[in-house]
Amino acid sequence: MSTLSISGLNVHFSTEAGSLHALKDVTFDVPERRIVGIVGESGCGKSTLINAILGLLSDNGEVRSGQILFEGDQDLARLSRGQMQDLRGPRIATVFQDPMGALNPVLSVGRQMINIQYRSPQSRAAKAARAVEMLKLVRIPDAESALGRYPHQFSGGMKQRIAIAMALMMEPALLIADEPTTALDATLEVTTIELLKDLQATIGCSVMFISHHLGVIAELCDDVVVMYAGEVVERGTVRDVFRAPAHPYTRRLLECDPARQSRRTRVLPTIPGEIPDLRQRPRGCVFAPRCLERHAGCDTPQVEHALAGDHRARCNLAPARSPAAVPP
Amino acid sequence: MLNYAVKRLGLSVAIVSLAMFLLFCMIYLVPGDPASVALGPRATEAMKEAMRVRMGLDQPVWVQFWNFFTGAWTGDLGEEVLSGRPVLDVVLEQLPYTLVLIAGGISWSVALGIPLGCWAAINRGSFADRLVGILSVAVIAVPSFVVAIYALLIFAVTLQWLPAIGAGEPGDVGDQLVHLILPSLAVGLGWVGYIARMVRASMLEVLEASHIRTARAFGLPERLITYRYALTIAILPTITLLGIGIGQMLSSAVFAEIVFARPGVGKLVYDAILTRNFPLVTGAVLVTTVIFVLLNLIADLIVGALDPRVRSSF
Ligand SMILES: Nc1ncnc2c1ncn2[C@@H]1O[C@H](COP(=O)(O)OP(=O)(O)OP(=O)(O)O)[C@@H](O)[C@H]1O
Ligand SMILES: [Mg+2]
């Protein structure tokens, strides 16, 4: 059973200039105890995807169709506000991108860590002890006194580790991490990634890890989902996708300056052109205007083709290029 | 926190000293001989000369300033012209009335402004939000003496719900409170608008912050998020604004005290100007300055107590 199984998810935003189709037919799984990386350039809908899962889409956003099955039985797209709120925190925990702003500036760290355990019947002292235990786990020095301190008294890396401690304190089934290391410097990034991997193994949760950084994905993740303009263009195990990328977009990403990638680039390699206007999606392939391998099939709707194993790519050319292709 | 408080207090002392210096310059530079003014037109030259010596006007400027400065810091603001009583005593007698009036004005503005601004922010874009927006601008635009006069005409004269003049029976708190309602409304109504707008704007900003998103992602109850996580931050600039606004409320208090014939420092200054009782004017202005600086200090200390970032930046 997968911890999270998203199928045919469509999210629209209503804007003054018309309806914006931000996520189109998004389908992928986060299998139990696995780390799934989501990669894609800015504006491709990674944060929208997270917000849709968490039920925190802004007021002008709407899940038009699709299923977000959590632990096989609950469809997050159909849960009531209250039910959703009960899942957020204890079952699905999130670490957001911005470590500087992720903690409330006027409440002490201890207060915030105790507050998020508000559902627990335990005493305040027990909750504080639990918080200290978690802070020790993420290697915050002097964890007892850290409870009484305020966010501005910690460094960026420490704040990010505190945010991770808060997220894992509830022992969630699913941890969502939205570019948790982008704001950190390279050495901190390595330690944070290693910490995350250790903790994931200890707690045994599944992880959805969003990153701009192909090197980090390759190192940390088991599976990878490549997104472009609100669509999943390719997904599979990191091994399959990185060794034999089947979608031209993935290939471009991997080809772009491989030397820089091995040196842990902080930004996704840039490829010429821009994401199309999501208000007017083309009938054919969304990537076609920037694609170097254009062909006649680009103008027809693209379907997701199954390749070897769980490897899938949304390009009509994919089966022909891949020797192990299975007909759809 | 103590460190912050001590430094902030030092700053206040410096501000009051500067105010004293400016006030001294003003008295010194104003044309006319204070001794002649004090004695009136029928004084002889000898009397004026004696008065000058008594007032220390024959001394060099810097000695005069030093005497004024040390006198003022030790509470010696001179004697008022008419009765010869110490100015400080006369001002302190009236001060409680004005302080209560200002406190009433702040109460109105906080009790109405914060909930309205918060409510408007939560229901952003709704009819209620727009209504609060329009009403805020309206009450800000109306000068406080107009509010005072209309409040008097409507609630005291026409409807006769509330008393029109005075500060109430001494010793009868209930009666004094009833007498406070209209004057304090005149002082505070504009501030209801300022504060509602301020709280709405900063609340909207805070609700967008990523720590609020984090709080939601932990499934914290929306009420806890709104009041404990967001509003605590959103009211910080409001407290500072109120501290500064007390200056404006003090000047509104002058109108309110005159219109409602209430005792108070404003009324005192007004009467003192009419009778050319200049030492009293100076003394009252100085005391008012000290009050303003003190209330600002309190506002900053409250912000310091609520915001750990402010505490440690000092
Ligand atoms: N509230 C909204 N209203 C209208 N459009 C929105 C809204 N939120 C997101 N979008 C649009 O949806 C698309 C996806 O945005 P999203 O923030 O999910 O991208 P992202 O992949 O997270 O980018 P980044 O890497 O920069 O964080 C963008 O085109 C964006 O303009
Ligand atoms: Mg994003």
* Over residues B82-91, mean pLDDT: 86
Q: What is the pLDDT of residues B163-176, one digit of tens each?
A: 877 777 777 888 88
Q: What is the pLDDT of residues A122-156, one digit of tens each?
A: 999 999 999 999 999 888 999 999 999 999 999 88
Residue nearest to atom 11 of ligand 1 (CA): A22
Q: Output phi, psi for A10, to 5 deg.
A: -120, 125
Q: What is the pTM of this model?
A: 0.81
Give the integer Cα–Cα distance in Å for A26 and A54: 15
**What is the β-pairing status of strands A74-75 and A2-15?**
unpaired
Instruction: Note whether B210 contacts A101, CB cutoff 8 Å.
Output: yes
Give the integer Cα–Cα distance in Å for A101 and B100: 41
- Put the strands of the sheet holding A2-15 in their side by side order: A18-31, A2-15, A61-70, A74-75
The pLDDT confidence band at residue A325, using thresholds 50, 70 and 90, is: very low
> Pick from A153, A278, A173, A183: which is nearest to A228 by CA?
A278
- Both structure tokens of A317: 């050319």
Domains and CATH numbers, chain B: 2-69 (no CATH), 95-274 (1.10.3720.10)
- Both structure tokens of B20: 């004293």
Residue A263 has pLDDT above 50, yes or no: no
State ipTM.
Answer: 0.84
CB pairs under 8 A between A and B: 74
**What is the β-pairing status of strands A312-313 and A18-31?**
unpaired
> How does the average pLDDT of chain A come out, rounded?
87
Q: Which residues of B touch A118 (CB under 8 A)?
A: 220-221, 224
> What per-residue confidence (pLDDT) applies to B313?
66
Identify the closest residue of chain B to A88 by CA–CA distance.
B219
- Both structure tokens of A316: 């009509």
Domains and CATH numbers, chain A: 2-91+170-321 (3.40.50.300)
Residue, of B100 and B2, whose pLDDT is higher? B100
Ligand nearest to the CA of A58: 1
The pLDDT confidence band at residue B19, using thresholds 50, 70 and 90, is: confident
Q: What is the pLDDT of residues B113-132, one digit of tens each?
A: 999 999 999 998 899 999 99
**Contact present, A39 and A253 (Cβ < 8 Å):** yes
Identify the closest residue of chain A to B224 by CA–CA distance.
A115
Does ligand 1 have an atom closer than 6 angstroms to the CB of A59? no
**Contact present, A254 and A238 (Cβ < 8 Å):** no
Residue A184 has pLDDT above 70, yes or no: yes
Q: Which residues of A touch B126 (CB under 8 A)?
A: none
Q: What is the pLDDT of residues B127-166, one digit of tens each?
A: 999 999 999 998 888 888 888 888 888 888 888 888 877 7
Interface residue B124 vs chain A (CB under 8 A): no
Residue, of B106 and A100, whose pLDDT is higher? B106
Q: Output phi, psi for A324, to 5 deg.
A: -95, 20
Residue, of A260 and A210, whose pLDDT is higher? A210
